Amino acid sequence: MKIGIIGGGSTYTPEVIEGFIIKAGDLGLTEVVLMDIDGERLRVVGDFAKRMVKHAGNPFKLTTTAARVEAIDGADFVLTQFRVGGQAARHEDIMLGLRHGLIGQETTGIGGMAKALRTIPVILDICADVEKRAPNAWVINFTNPSGLITEAILNHTGVSRCIGLCNVPIDMKMMIAKHLGVDDADVQMDSVGLNHLGWVRRVIVKGEDITARLLDFLAGEEGPKNIPDIQYNPELIRALGQVPLYYCRYFYNTPSVLAELKAKKKSRAQEVMDIEKALLAQYQDPNLATKPKELEQRGGAYYSKIAVEIVEAIAGDTGAEHTVNTRNEGAVPDLPASNVVEIPCRIGRDGVTPVPTEPLEPSIRALIQAVKAYEELTVEAALKKSRAAAFRALITNPLGPKSERASDVLDDLLKTNNLSYS
């Protein structure tokens, strides 16, 4: 089994490598190729990864390359985890938002839109390579905005073996397990929605439905005091009877979140640059041959865990259930078959089968439909380099500007990202 990793110079890479080292035997993994266009990072991360593999007794061969096709050629899995423009572009996205009184987060709001417009042309090129050189490969996408990118792949390329991943559902499940003081293997969490726009509908612990109890806690006095990310209006939680995942705060608590972003001295992009600088310095230590503890600070907890488990589910045809991004195909009865959604799925050799779910609560349904329309229009804008589609995407995003102010925002977004649309 060969795995190619596009964006292999990411500081996350050691985490994934650790995961593959542990499971290499079960998976029958023989080769991992790290590909990146940033030669310096690829060297640092690649050398460290090689030390990790060697330290583990060489369970598989690991190579690095700047040539994308070498990572893809004959691969069984292609992991995409790159970031077009790096943290510098992310910083620009945030600043763009703040200039217009809007949220420029990297996956929601106009930041997500800018990132998607930069990323889609690249992912389409990668898929064209996969179609030609590894027609049976599975593309496992981590690149953000992960749901939107998966939407582009599954509905606008010939690659039908693609799964979009995100760590939010598993992270939430881990938080719940921790809160309850139980093992995460005993927790069954049903969530529904799109990537970064999900709701937990039901939590079952060892066969007992504890949803009502969890809702009471979250909407109660004690609440999630120390977790600002899920501090919602208690009436919202009671009225929905569901727990919004933490990215929903951008939509439900927009004024507070905006105030928070404005008040920050360093943008999240700048913070991450500092973290990455430190990590890369550490990775260069020739004595380091295992994943450093500090990597956990980087965010994206459990990325590695879920990536390895997905590969395992497909390769071993386990039918394991994971919450991933895939085409709906009737599972959420209110959404079209082709919409990419993020829901629990059974995963095996033949692919991804979403688990059927109840109809959506109307307020949640409307929010999902709006964000999905924005996603479709963003993909259209990127594919056609169409300013009209981009304009419509911008005003459809629930975090975007109202139409009467949208032209200026769009001018700025396109200029900042050197996009010439017509």
User: Does residue 247 interact with a copy of itself by CB under 8 A?
Assistant: no
221 binds a copy of itself (CB under 8 A): no
Q: How far is the CB of 333 from a copy of itself (least distance, A)?
A: 3
User: Residue 342: which of 171, 142, 197 has the closest Cα?
Assistant: 197
d(CA 104, CA 223): 28
Which x/- pattern, by CB under 8 A, does the window 133-162 give for a copy of itself? ------------------------xx----
Question: Minimum CB separation from a copy of itself for residue 216, in Å?
Answer: 15
Residue 299 beta carbon to a copy of itself: minimum distance, rounded to whole angstroms: 24
Q: Does residue 216 touch a copy of itself according to CB under 8 A?
A: no
Cβ-proximal residues to 310 (8 Å cutoff; 6+ apart), any chain: 140, 163, 165, 322, 324, 347
Catalytic residue among 247, 283, 303, 374: 247
DSSP 121-178: HHHHHHHHHHHHH-TTPEEEE--SSHHHHHHHHHHHSS---EEE--SHHHHHHHHHHH
- Residue 394 is inside which H or E element, if any? helix 387-396
With respect to a copy of itself, which residue has the nearer C-beta, 88 or 366? 366
Stretch that binds a copy of itself, among 45-53, 73-81, 106-114, 246-254 (CB under 8 A): 246-254
Please report whether residue 239 would count as binding a copy of itself according to CB under 8 A.
yes
Residues 152-211 touching a copy of itself, rule: CB under 8 A, are 157-158
Residue 114 touches a copy of itself, criterion: CB under 8 A:
no
C-beta of 378 vs 417, nearer to a copy of itself? 378
Q: Is 247 one of the annotated active-site residues of the chain?
A: yes
294 binds a copy of itself (CB under 8 A): no
Cα separation, 415 vs 409, in Å, equals 10
Q: Are 116 and 371 in contact (CB under 8 A)?
A: no
Whole-angstrom distance, CA of residue 399 vs CA of residue 397: 5
Q: Which of 107, 146, 357, 417 binds a copy of itself (CB under 8 A)?
A: 357
Q: Which of 254, 282, 318, 416 binds a copy of itself (CB under 8 A)?
A: 254
> Is there a contact between 261 and 94 (Cβ–Cβ < 8 Å)?
yes
* Contacts to a copy of itself by CB under 8 A: 131-132, 157-158, 232-233, 235-236, 238-240, 251-256, 329-331, 333-334, 336-338, 353, 356-359, 361-363, 365-367, 369-370, 372-374, 376-377, 387-389, 391-393, 395-396, 402-407
